[in-house]
Amino acid sequence: MVLSCCIVQKASMPSSTYQLIMQAMSTRRQVLCMYGGFARAICPIILGHTAGRERVLAFQFAGGASSGLQAGGQWKCFDVAGMSEVELRDGRWHSGRSHRQPQYCVAEVELDVNPDSPYDPKRSITTPRSRKPRR
């Protein structure tokens, strides 16, 4: 007699850092963090998962990096689990120049700040409509 078993994978809750990055994307706030031993300032653009790991494609505009940071900033892929001391701040939103190359950082896209995203994100960013003042 052969018994086969199925593994049911329960959807896990996103980490607190993942949730904070979602908030940053929804409100277009910069993210400050430590990653790979360097302080970084980023604007997260695409958030989701690759091989079960939380990942974010972001435009890093300030701070350090093991390979250095190009003048004006550059696109970087981050494992969310490797980010620490994460905080949000107000400031100019940076997204670099036109990005024409396909991204391979995030395989399963949950959120993309680009309203015309070619990656079919699971969620969309909704911005609150302006309220008319009461009279």
User: What is the residue extent of each domain of the chain?
Assistant: 16-112
Contacts of residue 48, defined as CB under 8 A and 6 or more positions apart, other chains included, come to: 54, 55, 106, 107, 108, 109, 110, 111, 121, 122
pLDDT of residue 118: 86
Give me the count of residues in the chain.
135
Q: Grade residue 119 by pLDDT with cuts at 50, 70 and 90.
A: confident
53-91 tens-digit pLDDT: 999 999 999 999 999 999 999 999 999 999 999 999 999
